[in-house]
Structure 1
């Protein structure tokens, strides 16, 4: 049985911080291989579905089961020495588009499962930026209300930008996101490299699920187009 939670727990003990998303991706792949030596892994690969091909961060084949993993790593400014290695993390900001991109990965993995090119999948988002995981004081009028992913938030169905969203904000991300499953954001501590200076890293690791009735309906609609 493939247990991604145990892999992440093991990884955090010796890699509590990463230089970049690519660093995180390679470290996770290596950890999976150490944990499950008989598995096959492919990074940055293409998976082909019905009338589509999707680039995937990490494909794991374990006991003949194909598992899709999409990763995101968003950072707040931090300079930290860990195990005699200096890490200089950028202030990335752009939380609205960052949230959109995370939920877009939800949709991508769902489509892979729906098309039968993988058996299951996960979206993993790691960050030291509290703006992602802390509930907002108020987001009634924010343009990215639908895309909020803070602790306890539930996301499902069609997610869209507010009508007053600027064209610059949603450039390249204009399309609504449509999810077939229902998800609740449960954030966990990944590591603490310091107590105060943006040193608390948290993550969500969401197993993708598909509501079978919705999936059937979506499939019928696709066939009519």
Structure 2
């Protein structure tokens, strides 16, 4: 699948164009002290531009039995956007911004690992964006030209060759680290991405040019046969289907329902996203129980959902 930004470019939470956020951010904060500073400043500005969009930093997501942290989750009525940030820098010291601030950026020497970690962000976003109203954004800001400049044609092949992210590069499929010599770094992308860097800011001094790379990740397409496979294994977890509207189809009582995420398939939406699937994508509350319906499906339920299911059931 070829992934291209929507007309006018990608949006945040279906409401604010990413380009508008970056343009305004560059005027106020051409430089950041750290990646955490970038994350916080982006979220703060987004709230000013669109107060109805809710921002959540360091959101936990479950995958293969462990918790991963999403840098920023933006929640709006038209949709949700998962954002991962990277801020690898070259050494730069100076004053920038309004009001002026003093900065002393350190030198991140291992730019091959910066490329690897950015691609890993893209892979994670492909995994996180599992609902039709979700999109992902991998954002990298840097003042190191080696990241956006195409390599010389005559140079030797490097261990991060497959992970190059320079202007015009196309990333897709399985990417091998050191031609496959180190398998833990292997990454596989579902989509096809053409990389396009944009100017961000120009400040005084050596290494004063900052550019930004933003990759838009679309929701994962539905996989045919997933539901049948889950039924065959007897582990039908909550998917895009709605929960049973009749409470009598819910098995057991609150006292017998296991705490979240006990009993869930690690590959299910309920487990991976650690959110209330009983209420659907509109609910951002933390699930507390796992509820099972008579058709065999399991649902992650928040405290409000548990309260609403305490009457009118058969055990």
Q: Residue 264 of structure 2 aligns with which residue?
A: none
Q: Which has the higher strand share?
A: 1
What is the alpha-carbon distance in structure 2 between the residues aligned to residue 186 and residue 163 of structure 1? 25
State whether residues 133 and 219 of structure 2, in contact with CA within 8 Å, keep that contact through their aligned partners in structure 1.
no
Q: Residue 216 of structure 1 aligns with which residue?
A: 223
Q: Residue 207 of structure 1 aligns with which residue?
A: 216
Relative to structure 1, the CA distance from residue 211 to residue 60 in structure 2 (aligned partners, 3 Å threshold; closer, same or farther) is closer
Q: Residue 122 of structure 1 aligns with which residue?
A: 137
* CA RMSD across the alignment: 2.8
SS of 1:150 mapped into structure 2:
coil
Relative to structure 1, the CA distance from residue 219 to residue 111 in structure 2 (aligned partners, 3 Å threshold; closer, same or farther) is farther
Unaligned stretches of 5+ in structure 2?
Answer: 1-14, 234-266, 268-315
Q: Does 1:136 align with 2:146?
A: no
Q: How many residues align?
A: 214
Q: Residue 57 of structure 1 aligns with which residue?
A: 71
Task: Decide which structure has the larger Cα Rg and report it.
Answer: 2
State whether residues 30 and 201 of structure 2, in contact with CA within 8 Å, keep that contact through their aligned partners in structure 1.
yes
What is the alpha-carbon distance in structure 1 between the residues aligned to residue 218 and residue 225 of structure 2? 15
Unaligned stretches of 5+ in structure 1?
Answer: none
Listed one character per residue, the Cα deviations across residues 100-142 of structure 1 (whole Å, up to 9, x for unaligned) are 000000000000113x397111000000000100011145521
What is the alpha-carbon distance in structure 2 between the residues aligned to residue 206 and residue 144 of structure 1? 19
Q: Residue 190 of structure 2 aligns with which residue?
A: 180
Cα displacement (A) at 1:47: 2.8
What is the alpha-carbon distance in structure 2 between the residues aligned to residue 29 and residue 218 of structure 1? 38
Q: Residue 19 of structure 2 aligns with which residue?
A: 5
Q: Which has the higher contact order (CA 8 A, sep 6+)?
A: 1
Cα displacement (A) at 1:2: 2.9
